[in-house]
Amino acid sequence: MTILLSTLNARYTHASLGLRYLLANMGPLAQQTRIQEFVIGAKTSDLVERILAHGPRIVGFGVYIWNVEETTRLVALLKRVAPQVTIVLGGPEVSHETNEQEIVKLADYVVTGWGDVTFPKLCGEILNGPKPLMKVHAGVQPPMADIALPYSLYSIDDIAHRTLYVEASRGCPFKCEFCLSSLDKTAWPFPLDAFLEEMESLYARGARLFKFVDRTFNLNVKTSLRIMQFFLDKIEANPDDPVYAHFELVPDHLPEALKESIAKFPPGALQFEIGIQSFNPEVQALVSRRQDNAKAADNIRWLTEHSTTHLHVDLIAGLPGEDVASFARGFDQLVGLGAQEIQFGILKRLRGTPIIRHTEPFGMVYDPYPPYTVLATNAIDFPTMQRLVRFARYWDLVANSGRFAHSTRVLLGDAPFENFMAFSDWMFTKTDATHRIALEKLAKLVQEWLQLRGMPREEAAALLASDYAGKVDHHAAPKAAPAAVAPVRQVRHLAA
C-alpha cells in the first residue's frame, strides 16, 4: 500500500463519500491505495501510529469544518515523526482562503475543489515524477460521465451500520451567500441510468438507508420522479422490508406530478430536508436567496397534511439584516406549518462564501475558530446571540428529539418563539448547562416549567407521562436532532 486516503468523520456512522470517490477514480494507482477513516475525538498520537502502520508514501486528508483543528494537529505530528511521508490536503475547508491556514503550511500539497481527476494525477507525479513544483493544485472538473461512481466501495459493514451518502448530481444553480454551493455555476447531473444501476446494486447488497446529498433534488422533476419511483417500486415489491430515503428539496418547487409520487410513500420511507433559512424578503434579497415564500409555505403545509413524509426544515439565525423579532416571526410561521423538525441553526461564515461582504455594513462578528459561528450583528448583540444558541440546543433536546411531542405543543402555546425562549432562559438558570442533561432530569424540568406556568401538578405529570412513560434511560442523554446536517452538505465538495 502506497497511498492512504483518510479523514476524521464527525461520527462513526458517517461514511466518507469523498474518499470513496477518490479511490474509485485512482485508475492504475487503485491497487496501491486504501481508505482509513477515523472519528473526531481520538488521541492524535494513536491516529499517527495507525496511519504509519500501513507504511504509506502519500497520505491524503479530507479537511472539513468539523475536523480541521484535529486534522491540523494530526498533520503536525505526522510531519514530526515521519517527515518522509508526503501529505496532500483536499476538501472544502482548504479549498478557499488556502494560503492563510496553518494546516496548509504544514502539508506538502493541496487540491482545491474537485479531486476526482487532479488527486490521482498529483499522486502519479509525486511517485513517478516529474515532482510537482506548485503546492496548490486547482481541481479539474471532468465531464460527469467520466467520473467513476464509488458505491461498490461501501462495504457490507458500511451497509449494515452506517449512513450511505449518494448523489445523483453535484452543484447548485442558486447563489445563497452563506453556502459554499453559491460558488457553483449550476447543477451537474450524473448519467441517470448508470446512477440507478448503482442504487440497484446497493439495494441488492442489503442497503436500505439512502441519504442524498444533492443540493436541489427536485430541480429536474423528471429525474426526481424516476429516482423516487425506484424506491417506490422496492417498497411495493417488499412492503415488509422498509426502505428509507432522505432528499433535500427546493421549497417552492413542488409540481403536481411530484406531489402524486410523494403521496404514494408509506410512513417512515421519506424524509425531506427543506431549507427555508428566513421568511424575511429583505434578508433573502441581501443574501441572494431566491424564494417564493408563499409557495414554500403552501408546499410545507401540503406535505404535512397530505403525505407521511418526515420534514426537517432549516432556519438560520444571525443572517445580515435580521433581528430577533424577524426571526421569531419566521419561527412561529414554521411551527404553525407543522413540520416535525425545525433545525434552528446559527449562521457560520464558511471559508470562501460571499457572506463576508456583509461583515462591515451589518457589524457581523464571527468566531475566528471553526465552525466560525456568528457571535453578534448590528441587530443582535452577543448576549442575545448566546440566548439563541441555548434556545437552539434546548429545542433539539425537547422538540426535535420527538420525546416530548405532547408536552412541546402545550409548552409552545400560541406564541411558540416567545414561550420557548422563556423556557430556554429558565432552563439555563436551573442547569447552567446545555449538554449532558440526563433524559430523566430533562423530563422533570419540563414538568416543573409547566407547573410554574400554571398547570396543576397532576395534569403536568400526566402530560409528561403520555410522552415519557417507559422511555426513561438513566444513562443516556436524549436524542438530539441530526447534528450533522451541515457536515453532510459539505460532502458535495469532494475531499482528497
| Range of the structural domain that residue 456 is part of | 381-496
* Start-end of H helices in 86-148: 102-106, 118-128
Q: Is 433 exposed, middle or buried (0-12, 13-18, 19+ CB in 10 A)?
A: exposed
Q: Is 81 exposed, middle or buried (0-12, 13-18, 19+ CB in 10 A)?
A: exposed
Question: C-alpha cell of 360?
Answer: 462591515
Are residues 371 and 435 located together in one domain of the fold?
A: no
pLDDT tier, 185 (very low <50, low <70, confident <90, very high otherwise): confident
Last residue of one domain, picked from the residues 378, 404, 437: 378
Asked whether residue 455 is domain-assigned, the answer is: yes
Structurally, the chain folds into a number of domains equal to 3
What is residue 469's predicted lDDT score, i.e. its pLDDT? 62
Asked whether residue 343 is domain-assigned, the answer is: yes
- The CATH code of the domain that includes 272 is 3.80.30.20
Last residue of one domain, picked from the residues 363, 378, 393: 378
What is residue 216's predicted lDDT score, i.e. its pLDDT? 86
What does the alpha-carbon distance between residue 448 and residue 457 come to, in Å, rounded to a whole number? 8
What does the alpha-carbon distance between residue 313 and residue 272 come to, in Å, rounded to a whole number? 8
Are residues 353 and 322 located together in one domain of the fold?
A: yes
Tens digits of per-residue pLDDT, 208-235?
A: 999 999 988 998 999 999 999 999 999 9
C-alpha distances in Å from residue 478, one per residue of 396, 400, 416, 437? 9, 10, 21, 8
Are residues 244 and 352 located together in one domain of the fold?
A: yes
Are residues 406 and 468 located together in one domain of the fold?
A: yes
**Are the C-beta atoms of 206 and 172 separated by less than 8 Å?**
no
> Of 324, 362, 348, 356, nearest to 490 (Cα)?
348
Write down the mean pLDDT value for the chain. 93
pTM: 0.92
What does the alpha-carbon distance between residue 396 and residue 434 come to, in Å, rounded to a whole number? 10
pLDDT tier, 479 (very low <50, low <70, confident <90, very high otherwise): very low
What does the alpha-carbon distance between residue 225 and residue 223 come to, in Å, rounded to a whole number? 5
Q: Within the chain, how many helices (H) and strands (E) appear?
A: 18, 16
Are residues 387 and 417 located together in one domain of the fold?
A: yes
Locus of grid cell 429516482: 227
Q: What are phi and psi of 184, to 5 degrees?
A: -75, 155
Are residues 369 and 395 located together in one domain of the fold?
A: no
- The CATH code of the domain that includes 57 is 3.40.50.280
pLDDT at 484 > cutoff 60:
no
What is residue 1's predicted lDDT score, i.e. its pLDDT? 79
What does the alpha-carbon distance between residue 65 and residue 350 come to, in Å, rounded to a whole number? 8
Tens digits of per-residue pLDDT, 312-338?
A: 999 999 999 999 999 999 999 999 999
pLDDT at 476 > cutoff 90:
no
pLDDT at 33 > cutoff 50:
yes
What does the alpha-carbon distance between residue 144 and residue 47 come to, in Å, rounded to a whole number? 34
pLDDT at 400 > cutoff 80:
yes
Tens digits of per-residue pLDDT, 104-118?
A: 999 999 999 999 999
Across residues 52-80, what is the average pLDDT? 98
What is residue 389's predicted lDDT score, i.e. its pLDDT? 98
Counting residues of the chain whose pLDDT is more than 90, the rounded percentage is: 92
What is residue 487's predicted lDDT score, i.e. its pLDDT? 33
Asked whether residue 92 is domain-assigned, the answer is: yes
Are residues 407 and 362 located together in one domain of the fold?
A: no
pLDDT tier, 493 (very low <50, low <70, confident <90, very high otherwise): very low
Asked whether residue 151 is domain-assigned, the answer is: no
Greatest distance between any 2 Cα atoms in the chain: 79
Are residues 138 and 238 located together in one domain of the fold?
A: no
Asked whether residue 155 is domain-assigned, the answer is: no
pLDDT at 486 > cutoff 90:
no
What does the alpha-carbon distance between residue 33 and residue 301 come to, in Å, rounded to a whole number? 49
Asked whether residue 276 is domain-assigned, the answer is: yes
Neighbours of 12 (CB within 10 A): 11
**Rounded to 5, what percent of the chain is helix, strand, coil?**
45, 15, 40
Are residues 187 and 285 located together in one domain of the fold?
A: yes
Are residues 108 and 237 located together in one domain of the fold?
A: no
Asked whether residue 460 is domain-assigned, the answer is: yes
**Are the C-beta atoms of 39 and 70 separated by less than 8 Å?**
no
Are residues 329 and 398 located together in one domain of the fold?
A: no
Long-range CB contacts (< 8 A, 24+ apart) of 76-82?
76/106, 77/44, 77/45, 77/48, 78/48, 78/51, 78/52, 79/106, 81/48, 81/52, 82/48, 82/52
Are residues 418 and 332 located together in one domain of the fold?
A: no
Last residue of one domain, picked from the residues 343, 378, 413: 378
pLDDT at 489 > cutoff 90:
no
Asked whether residue 158 is domain-assigned, the answer is: no
E strand or H helix at 99: none
Neighbours of 203 (CB within 10 A): 18
294 Cβ contact partners less than 8 Å away, ≥ 6 residues apart: none
